[in-house]
Amino acid sequence: MPLPPILAIETSCDDTAAAVWADDRLASSVVAGQRVHERFGGVVPEHASRAHERLIVPTIRAALDEAGVEMGDVGAVAVTVGPGLAGSLLVGLSVAKGLALGAGVPLIGVNHLEGHVYSVMIEAPRPPLPFLCLTVSGGHTLLTLVEEGFRHRELGRTRDDAAGEAFDKVAKLLGLPYPGGPHVDRLAADGDAGFLDLPSPRLGPKGRRGDALFDLSFSGIKTAVRYWLADLGAEREATVEQHRADVAASFQRVVVESLVEGVREAVDQTGVRAVAVVGGVSANRGLRAAMAEAGESDGFEVFVPDPAHSVDNAAMIAVTAAAKWAAGHTAGLDVGIDPSLAL
């Protein structure tokens, strides 16, 4: 018997999202973006909390309407409890608690990172267990082995900036709006990827230094772009105007290469031939294409979510909650947020 409908809420950063999971499938998914951060060039936590507070009820209403589900039919309320911005998480959790209390249904707390991993379980084809999972988002960049029972074994991570953060910082240096990742993606398609010689983010074991498999550092590449810009002096503005796409393509190439190479070696070492790529940066067309190509030549299968489920959304929280509920894991109404929750 399928579970009763689950209403899922996600407010960990700057997207207010709600989704309904019913009859073992996604019934609706609504994301309200927050334009307020654009003029600051990054997420302003205080503005994010206020915007969530304003958007959360209409977003939940829209998700229920789209699914054709009424609050009285909802069997459980799921919500992201971390990691993320404290003020943002508190809005989602408080609303979820109120709804669960009012409806007399269980509350299911979900880890946002686990949600990203589960985003490849929203639709078929789904990866078989065990699979390797590359999570590349604005806050995280890590490679894990997802084993039976959805246990996560970490194989490596970035030592400093996350991949998405690097995209956003380089985009900002190029005068592109926030979040810059999608703009770099679009520009890179028409740029000369050999224009700038940038340092590889790979540290080890075959990279420049470091010891762990899939050790990465993205801060150097952003610094290299900054130095290149500084050296242009008076020519800076004109050169950026002329070569914005070339810099975007050069940057995207080394980032994508480092991620693909790391995954290739992990496949080699573990013998696991199913690879999921999730998180905001998995929407990147260059990364998707390069990963698919590597899978084809090395003989591993690549699983990516629909681009709408790469970036933050509540569908991934809903599908995670369905698995947790089926396994009997619900939270008490006294559960709290954990802004630095790990996978």
For ligand KG4, which residue of 109, 181, 191, 262 counts as binding (CB under 6 A)?
A: 181
Cα–Cα nearest to 215, from 228, 202, 226 = 202
Task: Give CA 138 to chain center in angstroms.
Answer: 7
CA count, 13 A, side-chain hemisphere, 22:
19
Which span sits near ligand KG4 by CB under 6 A: 22-30, 162-170, 222-230, 289-297? 162-170
Site for ligand KG4 in 260-279 (CB under 6 A): 279
Rule CB under 6 A: say whether 191 interacts with ligand KG4.
no
Tell me the three state secondary structure of residue 79: strand
> What single-letter amino acid sits at 266?
A
* 165 touching Zn ion, by CB under 5 A: no
Nearest to 107 by CA among 31, 21, 6: 6
**Residue showing tokens 């090395």:** 298
What six digits make up the tokens of 94?
Answer: 């408080």
CB of 192 to ligand KG4, least distance (A): 18
312 binds Zn ion per the rule CB under 5 A: yes
From residue 100 to residue 139, what is the string marking binding to Zn ion with x (rule CB under 5 A)? Answer: -------------------------------------x--
Taking each helix axis as running N to C, give the angle between helix 163-173 and helix 219-231, from 0 to 180 degrees, rounded to the nearest 10: 10
Applying CB under 6 A, among 87, 106, 109, 138 the residue interacting with ligand KG4 is 138
Choose among Zn ion, ligand KG4, none what residue 311 binds, the Cβ cut-off being 5 to 8 Å by kind.
ligand KG4
Please, which residues bridge with residue 136 across strands? 141
- Any contact of residue 337 with ligand KG4 (CB under 6 A)? no
User: Which one, of 292, 294, 283, 277, lies nearest residue 186 by Cα?
Assistant: 283
* Contact set with ligand KG4 (CB under 6 A): 13, 137-139, 164, 167-168, 179-182, 185, 279-281, 283-284, 311-312
Q: Enumerate binding residues for Zn ion (CB under 5 A).
A: 137, 312
